[in-house]
Amino acid sequence: MAPFRQFVALTILMTYIVILAGSVVRGTGSGLGCPDWPQCFGQWIPPVDISELPENYKDIYKINGKVIADFDAFKTWTEYLNRLLGAVLGLMILWMFFKSFRHRDREPDLPWYCGGLLLLVSIQGGIGALVVFTHLKPFIITLHMVLALLLLFCLQALRKYCSDLENFGINFHADTHNLPVTKILIGLGAVQIILGTQVRETVDHLMRDTGAATADTVVDQLGWMFYIHRSFSLVFLGVMIWALVRLYRRDVTGSGFKRGIVLLVLLLSNVGTGVALNYFGFPTTMQPPHLFVGVLIMGLLFQQYLDQKGTLIS
């Protein structure tokens, strides 16, 4: 079981890498760098220069009747590398599914669980295609982000389950004192990511699609969703500090408290990038770390939840 658990851990790492690549795609505005799917400009190896495309390529690769932007090799390859990394992740989960049958005598449900993960990553790939076909429709992008988080959580739960199988017979007690606070933090974090994704799409709409705003004026036009997202960060920070105090009182030297310190540092850095986005016109360099650190926070919080919940083996 140990090699299988280690492969699950490697798959979790790959999931983080794919999410990081996706955040770079969003931050650099490369979502339509490849206007078709699964190929890119009708090719399996994307072009590196506009001379490799026909003169009327902007008409050929219209999306929902909208003419695409001028060819940009950087954006094309940024989006294509994101797709390649997603394909590697899908193959890793496919391999995990086949490997799970070696352990079905010990855990008959394991192939079913891995099969569910395979279905989930397949749906995620389909949603990724819809992102392109719908010309970056905000709801589809948000759904794409939510499914990525769900996949990450499911892989983390699988790794914990495999660890519990290896340590079968050892009683892991639930931390009923801190568990409710961790659940609250996960809920707040999920709301923040959904709101943040919607805010990001509103920025794109105002600055790219309609040209109604510039980097200097866009914040003033974002509306109530942006202000809720910004205010929620302070609520999130306050609950995080409260959770850390509770952990300190009960787990001064344990891994839970150390993870809590890391979470607090990450959250403070995320607030910092959010401030930079707010006051400096949403600079491209700040957008990927803001999103990715948010995902890191959610992953660590869910791991905290799994550890506080105790054993997953009934």
Kindly write down the DSSP assignment for every residue of 97-152, as one continuous string: HHHHGGGTTT-TTHHHHHHHHHHHHHHHHHHHHHHHHTTS-HHHHHHHHHHHHHHH
End-to-end CA distance of the chain: 18
Query: Do both 148 and 181 map to the same domain?
Result: no
Which range marks the domain in which residue 10 is found? 1-170
Query: Do both 41 and 102 map to the same domain?
Result: yes
Q: Which residues contact 187 (CB under 8 A, 6 or more apart)?
A: none
Positive or negative CA dihedral for 250, 254, 257, 263?
negative
* Helix extents (H) in the chain: 2-27, 57-60, 73-100, 110-133, 138-166, 179-204, 224-250, 255-279, 287-309
Query: Do both 15 and 163 map to the same domain?
Result: yes
Query: Do both 151 and 65 map to the same domain?
Result: yes
Query: Do both 50 and 180 map to the same domain?
Result: no
Query: Do both 145 and 205 map to the same domain?
Result: no
Q: Which residues contact 286 (CB under 8 A, 6 or more apart)?
A: 27, 273, 276, 277, 280
| pLDDT recorded at residue 168 | 67
pLDDT by residue for the chain (314 residues), tens only, comes to: 788 999 999 999 999 999 999 989 988 888 888 888 888 998 899 999 998 988 888 888 887 777 788 889 999 999 999 999 999 999 999 999 999 998 888 888 899 999 999 999 999 999 988 888 877 777 788 888 899 999 999 999 999 988 888 776 556 677 788 888 999 999 999 999 888 888 887 877 777 667 676 777 777 777 788 888 888 888 999 999 998 888 887 776 677 788 889 999 999 999 999 888 888 877 878 888 999 999 999 999 999 999 888 776 65
CA 197 to chain centre: 11
| pLDDT recorded at residue 13 | 97
Token pair 């492969």 in the structure block, residue: 7
**What is the number of structural domains in the chain?**
2
| pLDDT recorded at residue 119 | 96
| pLDDT recorded at residue 99 | 93
What tokens were used for 115?
Answer: 């099969």
| pLDDT recorded at residue 313 | 64
| pLDDT recorded at residue 171 | 60
What tokens were used for 75?
Answer: 């954006």
Query: Do both 147 and 245 map to the same domain?
Result: no
Query: Do both 125 and 16 map to the same domain?
Result: yes
CA 159 to chain centre: 18
Tell me the three state secondary structure of residue 63.
strand
Write down which residue in 121, 141, 170 finishes a domain: 170
CATH number at residue 247: 1.20.120
| pLDDT recorded at residue 170 | 59
Query: Do both 201 and 166 map to the same domain?
Result: no
| pLDDT recorded at residue 276 | 87
| pLDDT recorded at residue 6 | 93
Query: Do both 114 and 205 map to the same domain?
Result: no
Task: Please tell me the distance from the alpha carbon of residue 51 to that of residue 47, in angstroms, as a whole number.
Answer: 9
| pLDDT recorded at residue 252 | 63
| pLDDT recorded at residue 248 | 80
Query: Do both 199 and 150 map to the same domain?
Result: no
Longest dimension (CA), the chain: 68
Token pair 């060819």 in the structure block, residue: 71
Using CB atoms within 10 A of its CB, is residue 294 exposed (0-12), middle (13-18) or buried (19+)? Answer: buried
Query: Do both 151 and 8 map to the same domain?
Result: yes
| pLDDT recorded at residue 249 | 79
